Amino acid sequence: GAGVSQTPSNKVTEKGKYVELRCDPISGHTALYWYRQSLGQGPEFLIYFQGTGAADDSGLPNDRFFAVRPEGSVSTLKIQRTERGDSAVYLCASSLKGQGTEAFFGQGTRLTVV
Amino acid sequence: LAKTTQPISMDSYEGQEVNITCSHNNIATNDYITWYQQFPSQGPRFIIQGYKTKVTNEVASLFIPADRKSSTLSLPRVSLSDTAVYYCLVGDMYSSASKIIFGSGTRLSIRP
Protein backbone atom coordinates (compact mmCIF):
# COMPACT_ATOMS: atom_id res chain seq x y z
CA GLY A 1 0.00 0.00 0.00
CA ALA A 2 0.93 3.63 -0.23
CA GLY A 3 1.14 4.28 3.48
CA VAL A 4 0.96 2.76 6.94
CA SER A 5 -2.35 1.03 7.50
CA GLN A 6 -3.87 0.39 10.90
CA THR A 7 -6.89 -1.77 11.62
CA PRO A 8 -9.41 -1.43 13.03
CA SER A 9 -9.81 2.33 12.95
CA ASN A 10 -12.05 2.15 15.98
CA LYS A 11 -12.42 -0.50 18.65
CA VAL A 12 -14.80 -0.53 21.58
CA THR A 13 -14.27 -3.28 24.11
CA GLU A 14 -15.42 -4.14 27.58
CA LYS A 15 -13.15 -3.88 30.59
CA GLY A 16 -11.25 -7.11 31.09
CA LYS A 17 -11.35 -8.20 27.45
CA TYR A 18 -8.40 -8.92 25.16
CA VAL A 19 -7.75 -6.80 22.07
CA GLU A 20 -5.40 -6.94 19.11
CA LEU A 21 -4.46 -3.93 17.03
CA ARG A 22 -2.84 -4.44 13.65
CA CYS A 23 -0.29 -2.36 11.79
CA ASP A 24 0.75 -2.82 8.14
CA PRO A 25 3.90 -0.76 7.58
CA ILE A 26 5.19 0.58 4.30
CA SER A 27 6.77 -2.24 2.31
CA GLY A 28 10.51 -2.44 2.83
CA HIS A 29 10.57 -0.41 6.04
CA THR A 30 12.62 -2.25 8.64
CA ALA A 31 11.75 -0.01 11.58
CA LEU A 32 8.30 -0.05 13.17
CA TYR A 33 7.07 1.96 16.16
CA TRP A 34 3.99 1.84 18.36
CA TYR A 35 2.76 4.87 20.26
CA ARG A 36 -0.22 5.67 22.46
CA GLN A 37 -1.79 9.12 22.43
CA SER A 38 -4.30 10.54 24.86
CA LEU A 39 -6.31 13.67 24.19
CA GLY A 40 -4.18 16.81 24.32
CA GLN A 41 -0.93 14.88 24.78
CA GLY A 42 1.94 14.04 22.49
CA PRO A 43 2.41 10.46 21.29
CA GLU A 44 3.82 8.26 24.07
CA PHE A 45 6.41 5.74 22.94
CA LEU A 46 5.54 2.09 23.56
CA ILE A 47 7.84 -0.17 21.55
CA TYR A 48 10.23 -0.09 18.59
CA PHE A 49 11.02 -2.98 16.24
CA GLN A 50 14.03 -3.26 13.98
CA GLY A 51 13.14 -6.14 11.70
CA THR A 52 11.52 -8.94 13.67
CA GLY A 53 13.04 -8.08 17.02
CA ALA A 54 11.97 -5.53 19.58
CA ALA A 55 14.92 -3.12 19.77
CA ASP A 56 13.34 -1.20 22.61
CA ASP A 57 10.20 -2.10 24.56
CA SER A 58 10.85 0.20 27.49
CA GLY A 59 7.65 2.15 26.85
CA LEU A 60 5.25 -0.75 27.39
CA PRO A 61 3.38 0.28 30.57
CA ASN A 62 3.02 -3.19 32.08
CA ASP A 63 2.91 -6.88 31.22
CA ARG A 64 -0.63 -6.63 29.88
CA PHE A 65 0.85 -5.06 26.76
CA PHE A 66 2.73 -7.10 24.21
CA ALA A 67 3.66 -6.62 20.57
CA VAL A 68 4.97 -8.93 17.87
CA ARG A 69 6.33 -8.62 14.37
CA PRO A 70 7.03 -12.25 13.40
CA GLU A 71 8.03 -11.74 9.77
CA GLY A 72 9.46 -8.27 9.99
CA SER A 73 6.47 -6.68 8.32
CA VAL A 74 3.00 -6.64 9.91
CA SER A 75 2.90 -5.98 13.64
CA THR A 76 0.23 -6.69 16.21
CA LEU A 77 -0.14 -4.88 19.52
CA LYS A 78 -1.90 -7.07 22.06
CA ILE A 79 -3.54 -5.84 25.23
CA GLN A 80 -4.79 -8.30 27.82
CA ARG A 81 -7.36 -7.63 30.54
CA THR A 82 -8.08 -4.16 29.20
CA GLU A 83 -8.72 -1.34 31.64
CA ARG A 84 -10.56 1.94 31.13
CA GLY A 85 -7.21 3.73 31.40
CA ASP A 86 -6.06 1.95 28.24
CA SER A 87 -8.50 4.06 26.21
CA ALA A 88 -6.47 6.14 23.75
CA VAL A 89 -5.45 6.37 20.13
CA TYR A 90 -2.78 3.82 19.29
CA LEU A 91 -0.46 4.98 16.52
CA CYS A 92 1.89 2.91 14.42
CA ALA A 93 4.76 4.30 12.36
CA SER A 94 7.39 2.83 10.09
CA SER A 95 10.63 4.12 8.66
CA LEU A 96 13.16 2.83 6.18
CA LYS A 97 15.97 2.17 8.61
CA GLY A 98 15.08 3.67 11.96
CA GLN A 99 16.47 6.72 13.70
CA GLY A 100 17.64 9.31 11.21
CA THR A 101 15.07 8.43 8.60
CA GLU A 102 11.60 9.89 8.23
CA ALA A 103 8.86 8.04 10.10
CA PHE A 104 5.48 7.60 8.42
CA PHE A 105 2.47 7.30 10.68
CA GLY A 106 -0.83 5.52 10.24
CA GLN A 107 -4.18 7.10 11.08
CA GLY A 108 -4.30 5.26 14.38
CA THR A 109 -6.74 2.95 16.14
CA ARG A 110 -9.04 4.61 18.62
CA LEU A 111 -9.51 2.17 21.48
CA THR A 112 -12.32 2.73 23.93
CA VAL A 113 -12.63 0.49 26.98
CA VAL A 114 -16.06 0.67 28.60
CA LEU B 1 17.96 11.30 24.96
CA ALA B 2 18.01 15.08 24.66
CA LYS B 3 14.92 16.70 26.16
CA THR B 4 13.15 19.41 24.21
CA THR B 5 11.20 22.43 25.43
CA GLN B 6 8.80 24.35 23.21
CA PRO B 7 5.90 26.74 23.81
CA ILE B 8 2.60 25.09 24.66
CA SER B 9 0.64 27.23 22.21
CA MET B 10 0.94 30.04 19.68
CA ASP B 11 -1.55 32.14 17.76
CA SER B 12 -1.09 33.93 14.46
CA TYR B 13 -3.00 35.20 11.44
CA GLU B 14 -3.24 34.11 7.87
CA GLY B 15 -0.42 35.39 5.68
CA GLN B 16 2.00 35.88 8.57
CA GLU B 17 5.32 34.14 9.07
CA VAL B 18 5.33 31.93 12.15
CA ASN B 19 8.47 30.95 14.02
CA ILE B 20 8.36 28.20 16.65
CA THR B 21 11.49 27.85 18.75
CA CYS B 22 12.55 24.65 20.47
CA SER B 23 15.21 24.41 23.20
CA HIS B 24 17.43 21.33 23.43
CA ASN B 25 20.26 22.37 25.72
CA ASN B 26 21.80 18.91 26.15
CA ILE B 27 21.80 17.93 22.49
CA ALA B 28 24.56 15.43 21.69
CA THR B 29 27.05 15.48 18.83
CA ASN B 30 25.25 12.79 16.84
CA ASP B 31 21.76 14.18 17.46
CA TYR B 32 19.75 15.68 14.64
CA ILE B 33 16.61 17.80 14.92
CA THR B 34 13.29 16.81 13.39
CA TRP B 35 9.91 18.53 13.32
CA TYR B 36 6.56 16.82 12.88
CA GLN B 37 3.09 18.26 12.32
CA GLN B 38 -0.12 16.66 13.58
CA PHE B 39 -3.69 17.49 12.59
CA PRO B 40 -6.64 16.32 14.70
CA SER B 41 -7.52 12.66 14.18
CA GLN B 42 -4.37 12.02 12.15
CA GLY B 43 -0.94 10.64 12.87
CA PRO B 44 2.05 13.01 12.93
CA ARG B 45 3.61 13.97 9.61
CA PHE B 46 7.29 14.69 9.00
CA ILE B 47 7.98 18.32 8.09
CA ILE B 48 11.73 18.90 8.12
CA GLN B 49 14.99 17.63 9.57
CA GLY B 50 18.40 19.20 10.05
CA TYR B 51 21.74 18.99 11.82
CA LYS B 52 23.14 22.52 11.65
CA THR B 53 22.75 25.93 9.98
CA LYS B 54 19.68 26.16 7.76
CA VAL B 55 17.50 23.67 5.94
CA THR B 56 14.66 24.65 3.63
CA ASN B 57 12.04 22.61 1.82
CA GLU B 58 8.74 23.37 0.13
CA VAL B 59 6.91 23.50 3.46
CA ALA B 60 9.20 25.17 5.98
CA SER B 61 12.67 26.30 6.99
CA LEU B 62 14.67 25.11 9.94
CA PHE B 63 17.25 27.39 11.53
CA ILE B 64 19.87 25.90 13.83
CA PRO B 65 22.49 28.16 15.47
CA ALA B 66 26.11 27.13 15.80
CA ASP B 67 25.75 25.84 19.37
CA ARG B 68 22.73 23.72 18.32
CA LYS B 69 21.09 24.25 21.70
CA SER B 70 17.94 25.49 20.05
CA SER B 71 16.22 25.42 16.69
CA THR B 72 13.49 27.45 15.01
CA LEU B 73 10.86 26.13 12.66
CA SER B 74 9.74 28.86 10.29
CA LEU B 75 6.44 28.61 8.41
CA PRO B 76 6.14 31.29 5.72
CA ARG B 77 2.76 32.91 5.00
CA VAL B 78 0.62 30.57 7.08
CA SER B 79 -2.94 29.69 6.19
CA LEU B 80 -5.84 28.33 8.24
CA SER B 81 -4.78 24.82 7.22
CA ASP B 82 -1.53 25.21 9.14
CA THR B 83 -3.48 25.02 12.39
CA ALA B 84 -2.00 21.93 14.02
CA VAL B 85 0.31 20.70 16.75
CA TYR B 86 4.02 20.92 15.95
CA TYR B 87 6.54 18.63 17.64
CA CYS B 88 10.28 19.16 17.92
CA LEU B 89 12.36 16.00 18.39
CA VAL B 90 16.06 15.31 18.74
CA GLY B 91 17.68 11.93 18.21
CA ASP B 92 20.87 10.08 17.34
CA MET B 93 21.20 9.95 13.58
CA TYR B 94 23.55 7.01 13.61
CA SER B 95 21.82 4.67 16.03
CA SER B 96 19.27 2.36 14.46
CA ALA B 97 18.35 1.21 17.94
CA SER B 98 17.11 4.59 19.09
CA LYS B 99 13.44 5.28 19.61
CA ILE B 100 11.69 8.46 18.49
CA ILE B 101 10.41 10.43 21.48
CA PHE B 102 7.73 13.12 21.28
CA GLY B 103 7.18 15.93 23.76
CA SER B 104 3.94 17.82 24.29
CA GLY B 105 4.31 19.94 21.16
CA THR B 106 3.19 23.47 20.28
CA ARG B 107 -0.46 23.98 19.43
CA LEU B 108 -0.53 26.55 16.62
CA SER B 109 -3.81 28.32 15.91
CA ILE B 110 -4.16 30.42 12.76
CA ARG B 111 -6.95 32.99 12.56
CA PRO B 112 -8.45 34.65 9.49
DSSP string of B44-76, one letter each residue: -EEEEEESSEEEE-SS-EEEE-TT-SEEEEEES
Mark yes or no for CB contact B93/A100 under 8 Å.
yes
> Which of the two residues, A35 and B2, has the higher pLDDT score?
A35
What burial class does residue B58 get, using C-beta atoms within 10 Å of its C-beta: 0-12 exposed, 13-18 middle, 19+ buried? exposed
CB atoms closer than 10 angstroms to residue B54:
11
The C-alpha atoms of residue B89 and residue A114 are separated, in whole angstroms, by: 34
Mark yes or no for CB contact B91/A99 under 8 Å.
yes
- Residue A84 has phi, psi (to 5 degrees) of -60, -30
For residue A31, the chain B residue with the least C-alpha distance is: B96
**pLDDT (tens digit per residue) in B46-58:** 999 999 999 999 9
B97 pLDDT higher than 60: no
What residue type is assigned to position A114 of the chain? V
CB-CB neighbors (< 8 A) of B104 in chain A: 41-42
A26 pLDDT higher than 70: yes
A113 pLDDT higher than 60: yes
- In the structure, what pLDDT confidence band is assigned to residue B96 with cuts at 50, 70 and 90? low
- Rounded to an integer, the average pLDDT of B40-48 is 93
- In the structure, what pLDDT confidence band is assigned to residue B99 with cuts at 50, 70 and 90? confident
The C-alpha atoms of residue B49 and residue B55 are separated, in whole angstroms, by: 7
Mean pLDDT of chain A: 93
**pLDDT (tens digit per residue) in B69-79:** 999 999 999 99
Nearest to A56 among B92, B93, B97 (CB): B97
Instruction: Answer for the pair A6, A104: CB distance below 8 angstroms, yes or no.
Output: no
| pLDDT value of residue A5 | 97
The C-alpha atoms of residue B107 and residue B85 are separated, in whole angstroms, by: 4
Mark yes or no for CB contact B41/A107 under 8 Å.
yes
B68 pLDDT higher than 90: yes
Say if B81 is an interface residue toward chain A (CB within 8 Å): no
What is the distance in angstroms between the Cα of B70 and the nearest Cα belonging to chain A? 18
- Rounded to an integer, the average pLDDT of A89-111 is 88
Give the DSSP letter of residue A108.
Answer: -
For residue A41, the chain B residue with the least C-alpha distance is: B104
Instruction: Answer for the pair A61, A67: CB distance below 8 angstroms, yes or no.
Output: no
- Rounded to an integer, the average pLDDT of A24-41 is 94
| pLDDT value of residue A52 | 92
- In the structure, what pLDDT confidence band is assigned to residue B31 with cuts at 50, 70 and 90? confident
What is the distance in angstroms between the Cα of B10 and the nearest Cα belonging to chain A? 15
Instruction: Answer for the pair A74, A94: CB distance below 8 angstroms, yes or no.
Output: no
Give the DSSP letter of residue B5.
Answer: B
CB-CB neighbors (< 8 A) of A31 in chain B: 96
B37 pLDDT higher than 70: yes
